Structure 1
Amino acid sequence: MDTLLILGGLLLILCGYAWLVMLAFERGLLWGLACLLPPLAPVFLLRHWARGRKALVLGALGFIPLVVGLAMLASEDGARLQAILSMKWLNSAPAEVPELAIALRCELNGQAFAPQQAELIGGVLSLREGEDFYAHRELQLRLHGEVNGPLRLDVLPEDSGRLPDVEISWLAPGHDLPEALRLRSGYTLHLDLRPEAPNRMIGAFHLVLPAQYRTTLSGQIELYTDRLRYRDGQVDTRYDSMDTLTYVVRDYLQRRFAGSRIDLASLPRQDLQRHEVHLSVDFTQDGRPQSLPLTLSRSDNRGWAVGDDHYPKRAAQPSAASPLATPQAAPVAETQGSAGGALSLERLLATPQRYLNRGMRVTTERGRTAEGIFTGLDQDGRIVIRHSLSGAGEASYSLRPSEIVDIELLAP
């Protein structure tokens, strides 16, 4: 609405000025040419007020919707109004900065490959070129397991066992469906990625397929680890993804049922092209199953939000990097001795040396599971678990204490 008011006001002002110029030309050629220069238009009005006042009134009326529209815009998005009034938009548009720093020398099926999207989600690393439903060219690396921390993999052509699957696909000119190829061995791979807050991984990526496939990738890569986007350190709820909806719903439930432990089930898939979705949310409140119908709506300024949300915002959470940060999960029962069983986070942080080289299974608040050998705490107080991959090196999970909800010791 604010945009329509601003445009309507500018249109009335422009029409009033055009009418004034036409009246000036009716009075004489020189007057018309003079009014084409805005600084000289007031001279014509002073000399011929009776003729030009109607055009002036029409232009003055345009200032009413213009001022109202600017006031509405200032109340909703002051930064946007400041950007408009600064007149920087008159300058030439700067080159678009890509979201991810991908510096790869790539060739896929003998063609130049310039990935614009990169992510590592659900144990699948994907590089994608093109915004259409079917990518122009795409590479997927299936790691056969979740990755929740630093990742280092080295594979040689002679390696065997349960290696990551490599799949490449490309859309040939004139074809509606892409062609695809999958390899389970016989390639060279070096992957060395480290987490980067809040949801990225950065590092080296080198892949060489057998010569007949004419596919190589080498360089530095940056990728997303989920489908959330951040702005000024906060989740950007204007980004359309199921992860965004899950974040909004979980935040709403935690504020509505403050003090309770909330475990949210997976949300049903939604059409994110709509501006309003209705869904039934299943969750547990302190272990009791619950179901709640919710309506989520999307606006250009606020993004996705739950309708009729009047619950206060949560207090700032303690720093996740500190080993003394209080976890959000309720404490679980401990098991003494060397047998397997539940282990509390407090005991693990207090005496980590007691559990070195013990097998354990850790569950995070997002429902992800990391299983492997506990190797201690890193310099930031994160829990490090090493998981071996058959014939393909190992994966190292680095978990913040605040995101852990359950720890289980595995029997030796």
Structure 2
Amino acid sequence: MEALLILGGVVALAVSWAWLVFASLGLGPGPLMLATLVPVVTPLVRGRGYPVLPRLLMVLALVSFTAGVALLYRDEPERFERLFSGNWSASPADMVLSGTLMGQPFLPDQVYWRGDQLVFAETATGNRTLRSLVVRFDQAPSLLQGTAIDLLPGDDGPWPELVIQWYTGALSAPGLQRISSGYSLSISLAPAGAKQADMTVHLHLPAAYATRLGGHSRLDERPEWLGKTSGQPEPVKVEPAPMPMQPVGWQELSLQTLLENPARFVGRPARVLTIGGREFEGVLKAVTDDRRIVLALPQGANQVDFQFHPEDVARIESRPTR
């Protein structure tokens, strides 16, 4: 929309200017000079014989151009800056990954794939997560193939879910927002080195969410699906010989099962991985009446209880006591 308004305004301005100059040829040197050098003031001039239609078209062109620039500044300030700084050749691949998240500046310093989830996190001192955005492809695994992912509003098929989390202060509850579709997303990956990958991202949500992200990032580990296609045959798996029974290790728990029947798991060792990418290991102590998961962690001679809201938990694992 912004591009159409700006481009339409420029084209209409050029047409109205040429129209006004040709219409001023018979008005004398003064009006002709004014229409040629400073045409934008002619809509304010009266009694000089200028025709109405080209001046009206010029006013509409100026309104269209101004509205487009204002929308561009509001929704995509980085493109606005490139446009008016003359750095038109810059692309997202040339920029450091940055943007805004729910109206707050967003400069993710941790970017990585966690299974079928792409995590962007901005942390503070002590590895505390300030803002995070997770693109969950769990319900859209068919998109994870090749080297690029492109989605536009209105596209059919499965969409990855966006999970946005942000903090407004130490005494305020964290904000959480989930978006299931209706945004634009472009992810391009290319192998770099033995295990790394270069990733270029452009994410733009509707204006109501005040969230956008764009730029380039180097991933320390490339995702397993990179370069694969849906038609690529799966490698033949060789079944290993049966091994003696070993003690059961960590097993992922169903969060819903834990919340509905916590007594089965209370007292077991547990490991919690949060949406922000932090991991806590301790003993599952309880599930509170407001459905918060309580994990007891030893701190020297003492014990500290951590509470987790289910929406903050990306994965929880447990193992039987020995």
Query: Smaller-chain TM-score range?
Result: 0.3 to 0.5
Q: TM-score, normalised by structure 2?
A: 0.38
